[in-house]
Amino acid sequence: MRVQLLVLTLAALALQGCASAGQSWRAGPAGIPAERQIRNDLVNGQYGSALESLKDRKVAPADALLRHLYKGLIAVHAGQSELGTRALDRAWQISYDRYTKRVGDGAQSMVTGEGALPYNVGPAERLMIPYYGGLNWLARNERDEAAVEARRMGVLLASDASNSPNAEYMGFMRYISGVMFEVAGERNDADVAYRNAAVLLNGRLPGDTVAPDAEHGDVVILIEDGFVARPEPADLDFWVNDADVRELESRDMVVSQGAYRRAELRRGVQRDWRAEHYRNVNLRWPVMLNGNPDAAAGALGARAMRVAAGIELPVLGDPAAYGNIVIAHSVGTSVSDAVRADFEREQPGRIARALARAAVREVTAKGAEGAFKAAGDVLSSDDDDDESSSDGKGGKGSKKDDGDEDDHSFAAAVVLAIIGVGLLAFHVGSQVLDQPDLRAWQVLPDRVSVSRMRLPVGEHVIEVTRNGEAYSLGTVTVKPGEVTVLVHRWWPGTTPVVASTIQP
């Protein structure tokens, strides 16, 4: 009775601790409510509030890399270029270190799940670090530093080219690196980047890449649209066998992806898989669906109207206020598609680790059951010995010896019970903490588009067109022989100012 009471008390404490840890975990690294709060602040233009929220541990991502990624991008949009530079540079250092050293605590992930591993950006997200870093340096007119970020992009594009099937995304980033080189005066590097972009984009570049003459300049317009797709939680059943597990752990991407695809296909087939030596595993699982409620909407373009001589401020809607109208087509890429492709390439590794955690839980459950049974056997044996001694047939042993044996038996039973409670706590804690890893750089845009126009030197009104509607970006001064970069973020759910200028 004493051991049973002890076991129940320890088990209750262990389960209570596991439950509270699980609640803390779900509110931390995954942090869906926190991500939503930050997104809402950005949509409403409350950049200061978004930055302040990153100081709150209940809101900010727990992982250092993810925290710096958020801070850097938000600071860029808030116009705090110094803070953005520091945060993005720190994010680059951490991501590079994790990428080269493959930092990870596999042992801890066997207990708590994927969220125990350091967050590691995929190729698509990794490219966005120097992308924003370069744009931030351009905003500060630090052109040499922007060229450094362009070189970082080049290194990543070369190293990850064999791993990314998304030629459009790679080509787009090549083109942007070329723009950064060109603004920085690195013409040779710019030409190389443009040639690589032309190959990946099948020649669909957004404008002339020949250097403008002394009477013209180029305006490059980058429109970031929507919010990137994000992982969602799911509860899925998989049927796997031992061969699948071995292939899922393979470093050969073709082999591991093939095993994952087969396991995915079995989920929709009604068969007696157990008879074919498959076992069923239920996993709390992250998925990235094709739909995205925060996606960009509508086809983009751009146009520029030269301000007529003698008019300081253009009169909207007055054809006499403008000279020639220049229209540019837009070339874009889906950040969501590129991030989703990276996510899918990591799924075999995730399912292999999830299966390993399920196996560990199965072992600990059986171990706990065995420890409790052994403790009961010890006590039962001790009770039998007491009964045998009480009927006068137990030998000549003294009461002191009987007491010592009782104490030793009780101590052994307590040790076994504690081992059982520990294994049970491990088993239950692993189940509670093994939540889908939903961490992601969730404030990235869904889509990025670029337009390029060669314009005469002077003042021009710049507008972005979407589905036939024109939206003003204000005026820009075109300088002789130079490239000017404009960046605009189109937040989902907001209504931009519609331009009332003449229609071309």
pLDDT digits (tens, 9 = 90+) for 468-486: 778 888 888 999 999 999 9
pLDDT tens-digit readout, 241-273:
888 878 887 878 788 888 888 888 888 788 888
| Contact present, 449 and 300 (Cβ < 8 Å) | yes
Q: How many Cα atoms occupy the beta-carbon half-sphere of 501 within 13 Å?
A: 30
pLDDT (0 to 100) of residue 358: 66
List CB contacts of 497: < 8 A, sequence separation 6 or more: 471, 472
**CA pair distance 267, 281, nearest whole angstrom:** 11
Q: How far is CA 280 from CA 124, 257, 290, 350, in A?
A: 33, 19, 26, 16
pLDDT tens profile 367-412: 666 666 766 666 676 555 555 555 555 555 555 555 555 556 667 6
Please list the residue range(s) of the chain that carry CATH number 1.25.40.10. Answer: 61-205
Please name which of 281, 265, 247, 293 lies closest in space to residue 359, comparing C-alpha atoms. Answer: 281
Q: Who has greater pLDDT, 26 or 16?
A: 16
Q: What is the mean pLDDT of the chain?
A: 76
pLDDT of residue 317: 40
First CA to last CA distance, the chain: 90
CA 2 vs. chain centroid, Å, equals 50
Q: Which amino acid is at 358?
A: A
Q: How many residues does the chain have?
A: 504
Residue 414 is predicted with a pLDDT of 65
Residue of 208, 209, 207, 218 whose CA lies nearest to 451: 207
- CATH placement of domain 61-205: 1.25.40.10
Amino acid identity of residue 456, one-letter, is P
pTM for the model stands at 0.76
